[in-house]
């Protein structure tokens, strides 16, 4: 089900108070300004043409869903229909050097990772690309990376090749593909300018993430970083290194530590993003291209 990307599709709407009646709302803190229970979505207003019904507008909407998708009301017990703020990806700037889109984090990392895997036809070693689920809510469930499904898959891979799983995993090298926060000159006080990534300066390598420094983080070894640097330099890939904001301001985490717990070498790599976690996020076309080049070089030569 995909509604809203075709220009002929309808869109959906969440209403808010008009400023004339928002005096009490304006007294809320920024963290409380938008409450989940207030995000009610307008999806229709025409009633079903039959008198005496309890919810005639609801019934009319259900009729439309049934005719178009074969859905009945009971299907909502299990349906994963989600409504989110989105729009078509657009070029940004007079020079069209940037891309604004919903959910760059992490579609903009999954795309070059998958492209590199599909385009690398004769790698030196066996390559695996994992597109995993639930990262933003803690990598939970049997489709999140805290599940053992990746370990089980790699064990089957080793068994089928007749090699030791332990030997294989100890020699494995991994890029954990996730975005990083691009330096924003509007809010320079939360960034360390000398340790930030920037739009247009290439693929981002992050030796460690975490909060207040390295807390909750993977920390890539010096040997692995050195090897990866050579791979990137030999392939003429533009890359930059960064951490996520000032040490004492906050920080962020990725799933790299989960893979590192399997006993493989892991480093975070990805693309610099401005306006992260907003309905529209911004990345550089040059960074996307260099990241694709970097992933291809890694799969071929690491």
Q: How far apart are CA 39 and CA 42, in angstroms?
A: 10
Q: What is the pLDDT of residue 42?
A: 93
Task: Give the torsion sign (CA, 180, 216, 245, 197).
Answer: negative
Q: What is the pLDDT of residue 256?
A: 93
Q: What is the pLDDT of residue 83?
A: 87
Question: Contact 1/9 with Cβ under 8 angstroms?
Answer: no
Q: What is the pLDDT of residue 253?
A: 80
Q: What is the pLDDT of residue 107?
A: 93
Both tokens of 18, joined, read 């008009």
Buried b (16+ CB within 10 A) or exposed e, 84-98: eeeeeeeebeeeeeb
Q: How far apart are CA 22 and CA 17, in angstroms?
A: 6
pLDDT tens, N- to C-terminus, the chain (302 residues): 888 888 899 999 999 999 999 999 999 999 898 899 999 999 999 999 998 899 999 999 999 999 999 999 999 999 988 888 878 899 999 999 999 999 999 899 999 999 999 999 989 899 999 999 999 888 999 999 999 999 999 999 999 999 999 999 999 999 999 999 999 999 999 999 999 999 999 999 999 988 877 888 889 999 999 999 999 999 999 999 999 889 888 778 889 999 999 999 999 999 999 999 998 999 999 999 999 999 999 999 88
Q: What is the pLDDT of residue 247?
A: 87
């Amino acid at each position: 089900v995909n509604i809203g990307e075709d220009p002929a599709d309808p869109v959906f709407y969440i209403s808010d108070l008009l400023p004339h009646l928002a005096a009490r709302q304006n007294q809320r803190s920024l963290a409380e300004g938008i409450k989940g229970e207030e995000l009610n979505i307008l999806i229709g207003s025409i009633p079903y043409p039959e008198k005496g019904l309890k919810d005639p507008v609801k019934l009319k909407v259900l009729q439309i869903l049934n005719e178009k998708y074969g859905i009945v009301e009971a299907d909502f017990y299990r349906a994963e229909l989600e409504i989110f703020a989105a729009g078509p990806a657009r070029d940004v700037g007079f020079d069209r050097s940037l891309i604004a889109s919903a959910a760059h984090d992490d579609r903009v990392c999954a795309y070059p990772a998958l492209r590199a895997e599909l385009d690398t036809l004769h790698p030196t070693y066996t390559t695996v690309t994992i597109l995993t689920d639930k990262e933003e809510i803690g990598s939970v469930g049997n489709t999140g990376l805290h599940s053992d499904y990746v370990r089980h898959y790699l064990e089957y891979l080793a068994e089928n090749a007749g090699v030791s799983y332990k030997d294989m995993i100890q020699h494995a090298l991994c890029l954990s593909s996730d975005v990083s926060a691009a330096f924003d000159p509007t809010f320079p006080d939360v960034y360390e300018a000398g340790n930030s990534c920037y739009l247009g300066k290439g693929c981002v390598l992050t030796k460690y993430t975490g909060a207040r420094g390295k807390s909750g983080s993977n920390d890539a070894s010096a040997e692995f970083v050195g090897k990866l640097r050579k791979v990137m330099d030999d392939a003429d890939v533009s890359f930059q290194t960064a951490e996520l904001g000032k040490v004492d301001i906050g920080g962020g985490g990725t799933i790299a530590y989960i893979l590192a717990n399997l006993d493989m070498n892991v480093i975070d790599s990805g693309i610099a993003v401005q306006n992260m976690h907003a309905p529209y996020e911004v990345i550089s076309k040059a960074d996307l291209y260099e990241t694709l080049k970097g992933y291809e070089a890694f799969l071929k030569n690491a």
